[in-house]
Amino acid sequence: MAQDSVGLPSDFQFWMRKLSVWDQASTLETQQDTCLHLPQFQEFLRQLYEALKEMDSNAIIERFPTIGQLLAKTCWNPFILAYDESQKILIWCLCCLIKKDPQNSGESKINSWTQGLLSHILSTFRSDIKEVDLFTQVLGYAPTDYYPGLLKNMVLSLVSELRENHLNGFNTQRRMAPERVRSLSRVCVPLVTLPDFEPLVEALLTYHGHEPQEVLWPEFCDAVNEAFLLKKISLPTSAILCLWLRHLPSLENTMLRLFEKLMSSERNFLKRIECFMKDSLLPAAACHPAIFRVVDEMFRYALLETDGALEVLATLQVFTRCFVEALEKENKQRCQENQWRKESFQQTALKQVDIQLKFAFKTYFPYASPSLVMVLLQHPKDIPQGLWHQALKHISEMLKEVVEDQTHGSCGGPFESWFLFVHFGGWADMAAEQLLTSEAEAEAPEALLWLLAFSCGPGAGRQRRAQTMVRGQAYGARPHDQSLRGWKGPCSGFGFH
């Protein structure tokens, strides 16, 4: 590589003179000369890049003081940019000029100038340039036919290279270098909302190398997430999941935007909240435990900060319901795939194929009793009406054992148990409904009263909770007394039934 770069200074001057001649490529002679020398010029750019990537930006300017002129002339030459290979090499050369941490206004100015050239290369070509019009006429294409095809080929070429890197991660000869991936993500920051670049954005988000640190530029992740939130880009759930796993601030910002949307609306019925939730892709992405834990923690802090605001409680319960539906759907698909694999391998030596859930529910609720989680996961309306009292009593007993038995302090105390319970608000609503009817069995009211007293005041303590239950029992003696309406669950006003 060092040997190849020895003759670069003299070659540099030669190509500077050539580019000056090509700068006004309006004659047949200049067009023919450009096409004749283009392979040699591409090779020069490759050698230049190999030299530049080993140098910092200050050393580059010192060795090649007119490199900015050369690259600028190249960027604005339509005959050179007509080849996607030329575009890629030129992109890598320009990325070498970018200072990661500019120390002064001069370095910042160079960064801005370089990014402008990069945006020009990757954006749709201007169709009002005289040379471009002449070029497309010679080829027999109209600009409206030529430019989209050129841009599409360039994007597909980069996507193919990124995916090849993923599939052939151990093939060092074909791998895209991490610094090239990082540079490419930075170049794409101002371009993420262009429809033609969606395949490239998706390929970058789903890129998986073997680097110990994140290779994507943080500003790229911010730009993609902002475009997603504003509906300026359409990406599959898998790509958004990769984005949130790679860049925690994007996930946090998505949650904050969801809270803002809910709080700013005058009235939020459950159907509207459910639309907001599913539209955010959060329930589907939360099937990955890491995403679920972050979202769940943000709900926890939101409840603490708002003192259990009804909007937050309702949103948490809608999220949980949508999450469970998404998880069941994903696990069902997984089991079907495993069953297909099992049937496919029946005639081979493989006698057993593991058919299990991708993640156990314990993974999502690590501090809760697995048996309690499994009971709460059942939707109340899916249980026969004759078993409602039995199920509610069972839930009440398990929660009471965890909350009031000091031997279970490792489960996180009353708040953790309450936080788990309010995920599934349908049970509290059902307990309130049963107390408001005259059909409650003799032994049921005590368990239901404890459940509601705990739901309304998880930190009240055993004695205060008992006093609350006594008052509730007095209301319960008059089942049609309107004052018992206060026992309804925290989301009853939102119609969570």
Both tokens assigned to 12: 């540099």
Please report, to the nearest 10 degrees, the dihedral formed by the alpha carbons of residues 224, 228, 231, 234 taken in order: 90
In a domain, residue 433? The reply is: yes
H, E, C per residue of 191-207 = HCCCHHHHHHHHHHHCC
Same domain, 9 and 133: yes
Same domain, 391 and 490: yes
Q: Is the dihedral of CA 129, 133, 138, 143 positive or negative?
A: positive
Same domain, 330 and 459: no
In a domain, residue 52? The reply is: yes
Same domain, 2 and 39: yes
Task: Kindly state the greatest CA–CA separation across the chain.
Answer: 102
Both tokens assigned to 84: 């996607």
> Domain tally for the chain?
3
CB 493 within 8 A of CB 316: no
pLDDT at 208: 83
CB 120 within 8 A of CB 75: yes
CA count, 13 A, side-chain hemisphere, 121: 31
pLDDT at 406: 53
In a domain, residue 231? The reply is: no
Domain that holds residue 340: 248-344
pLDDT at 3: 40
In a domain, residue 194? The reply is: no
pLDDT in tens, the chain (497 residues): 344 455 577 788 899 888 888 876 567 777 778 878 888 998 999 888 888 888 877 788 888 888 889 998 888 887 787 776 787 788 888 888 877 677 888 888 888 888 788 777 765 444 444 444 555 555 555 555 555 666 777 788 888 888 875 544 444 445 677 888 888 888 788 778 888 889 999 999 999 877 788 999 898 999 999 999 999 899 999 999 999 999 999 999 999 998 888 777 656 577 788 888 989 999 999 999 999 999 999 999 988 888 878 888 888 999 999 999 998 888 777 766 666 655 554 444 433 333 345 677 778 888 788 888 888 888 777 777 777 778 888 888 888 887 776 544 445 567 788 888 889 888 888 887 777 764 544 444 777 787 877 777 665 555 555 555 555 554 553 333 333 333 333 333 333 33
Same domain, 323 and 255: yes
Same domain, 411 and 302: no
Q: Which helix (H) or strand (E) holds 381?
A: none
* Packed helices 198-205 and 218-229: angle between N→C axes, nearest 10 degrees: 120
Which pTM was predicted? 0.66
pLDDT at 467: 53
Please report, to the nearest 10 degrees, the dihedral formed by the alpha carbons of residues 309, 276, 223, 294 taken in order: 50
CA count, 13 A, side-chain hemisphere, 332: 6
Same domain, 303 and 426: no
Same domain, 60 and 134: yes
pLDDT at 179: 82
CA count, 13 A, side-chain hemisphere, 198: 14
Q: Judging by beta carbons within 10 Å of its beta carbon (0-12, 13-18, 19+), is residue 380 exposed, middle or buried? A: buried
Same domain, 337 and 430: no
Same domain, 252 and 329: yes
Q: What's the CA gap between 4 and 51, in Å, rounded?
A: 9
pLDDT at 93: 86
pLDDT at 463: 53
Collect all residues with Cβ–Cβ distance below 8 Å to 69 and sequence separation of at least 6: 16
Tell me, what amino acid is at 199?
P
pLDDT at 1: 39
**Boundary residue ending a domain (307, 327, 344):** 344
